[in-house]
Amino acid sequence: MVAGVIGFGILAFITVFLVMMSDGCMGGTCDFDLMTVGWLIALISPPVVFLAAVVWTLIRIARRKTAWWVTVSAAVVGVGIWAIGVAMMQASLGR
């Protein structure tokens, strides 16, 4: 769980600077609505996935079931959703 906090903290830090991607917009070729949605997905989804994984992990531990795979799969899902948000931002540049 500690690695999850560090990993998703790094993703959140990187996401804050993704706003600078709009600096590449020149000549009105960018779709700012798509860029905003992609940025919000990249910013909000990893912490939500992580919190859901923590809750699910604690429930599984309380029921004395194996729970190691929950955090691993949550990391993969969180990074995947983050990458989708970044890809949406890239697509909004209109290049």
Structural contact between residues 3 and 53, judged by C-beta atoms closer than 8 angstroms: no
Structure tokens at 28: 């009105």
Residues contacting 93, CB < 8 A, separation 6+: 21, 24, 25, 29, 30, 35
Look at residue 27 in the predicted model and tell me its pLDDT: 74
Please tell me the pTM assigned to this model: 0.84
Q: Output the tens digit of pLDDT for each of the chain's 95 residues.
A: 787 778 888 888 888 888 888 887 877 788 889 999 999 999 899 889 999 999 999 999 999 999 989 989 998 999 999 999 999 999 988 76
Look at residue 95 in the predicted model and tell me its pLDDT: 66
End-to-end alpha-carbon separation of the chain, Å? 39
Structural contact between residues 35 and 68, judged by C-beta atoms closer than 8 angstroms: no
For the residues of 39-84, what is the DSSP string, one character each? HHHHHHHHHHHHHHHHHHHHHHHHTT---HHHHHHHHHHHHHHHHH
Distance CA 28, CA 13 (A): 28
